[in-house]
Amino acid sequence: MSYTIFYARTSTDAQTIEHQADQARAAGYTIDEVITDEGVSGLINFSERPGGWRLLDKVRRGDRVLIRWFDRLGRNYDDVTKTVKTLLESGVNLQ
């Protein structure tokens, strides 16, 4: 059975985890768990963020990871690409 995890990162007070998760639910997704990095700068590599390493440790082949924006998955193009590649090679469905 697949598990759906929504990952969200906020770096400003104008962004909220709830708003991002609500948008995913409004689009018809059922979320089993929300993993977050609140108030974490985009200058930190994904795998070094508490929520980032938690997500990478938790997901298993066949799981689905939902994100609102791809830039949530890294600090720059190279980091986002590395994170996406890691997830896809692990058999995770990224949406």
Catalytic option among 2, 11, 47, 90: 11
Residue at 90: amino acid letter: S
The question of whether 11 is a catalytic residue gets the answer yes
Give me the amino acid identity at 63: D
Which are the contacts of 75, defined by CB distance < 8 A and separation ≥ 6? 42, 43, 44, 45, 46
Rounded-to-integer distance, Cα 21 and Cα 73, Å: 16
- What are the catalytic residues? 11
